[in-house]
Amino acid sequence: MEVTLLPMGREAVLVEVAGTGEVLALADALHEQGGRQDAPTWVRSLAEVVPAARTLLLRVAEPRDVPAVRAGVVTLAASLDVATAGHPGGQEPGVGRGAPDTPVVTLPVTYDGADLADVARLIGLDEQEVVEAHTGSAWRVGFIGFAPGFAYLVGGDPRLHVPRRETPRTRVPAGSVGLAGEFGGIYPRPSPGGWQLIGRTEVTLWDLDRDPPALLQPGTLVRFEAL
């Protein structure tokens, strides 16, 4: 895997890769290394690993550890080959390898979203075909951003790529299932938002009394089921 290292202040390195699949593969490898008894020193010096769409932030507690992290991640990435990595359980390629114990979450969805008709028109399918495309492929959580527990899902049917709404809504209800660009997502809490809404789920995605509070975490596999 090829990586580009970009500066991000005195306490972090931003690692740029080709896509979300590579981000997940690198994050998986870092977690696997970090879990070992004999984890390399540079891995142990990481305070935080934050995945995003095409970049991964490696934050250290001590600025002096940055050079070792830069060197270490280049070596680690060179040893990874995403293209030939296995994809368990018939998972779509390009959404990361996934550890054997990768959790799978099934979300039942009522497909009555306010933008369902618009989405169908935008991508030239009928509404039923949108639902079939959305439920017909496995998604995987690439990263979390925007709000606590808001998971950016990747690996869905490529026909579902739609632009964001021209004008964001001031309030999107919790549980709304949406699409934006190459990503799928579900609003964990009521918030403003510009995603195209196709349905809703009753499943609680963010619960402070749960540990961890986010049901969906980077790497989690997600399947949607039409109610």
Is 203 a binding residue for other proteins by CB under 8 A? The answer is no
For residue 117, the minimal CB distance to other proteins (Å) is 26
Interface mask (CB under 8 A) for other proteins, residues 50-89, using x and -?
xxxxxxxx-x------------------------------
Burial class (CB in 10 A: 0-12, 13-18, 19+), 200: buried
For residue 128, the minimal CB distance to other proteins (Å) is 31
Residues 6+ apart with CB under 8 A from 202: 108, 175
Interface mask (CB under 8 A) for other proteins, residues 124-153, using x and -?
-------------------xxxxxxxx-x-
Under a CB-based contact definition with an 8 Å cutoff, are residues 177 and 186 in contact? yes
Q: Which is nearer to other proteins, 150 or 224 (CB)?
A: 150
Q: Which two tokens stand for residue 96?
A: 């990361």
For residue 87, the minimal CB distance to other proteins (Å) is 22
Residues 6+ apart with CB under 8 A from 150: 144, 185, 186, 187, 188
Q: Which is nearer to other proteins, 53 or 85 (CB)?
A: 53
For residue 47, the minimal CB distance to other proteins (Å) is 7
Running DSSP on this structure, what letter comes out for residue 193? E
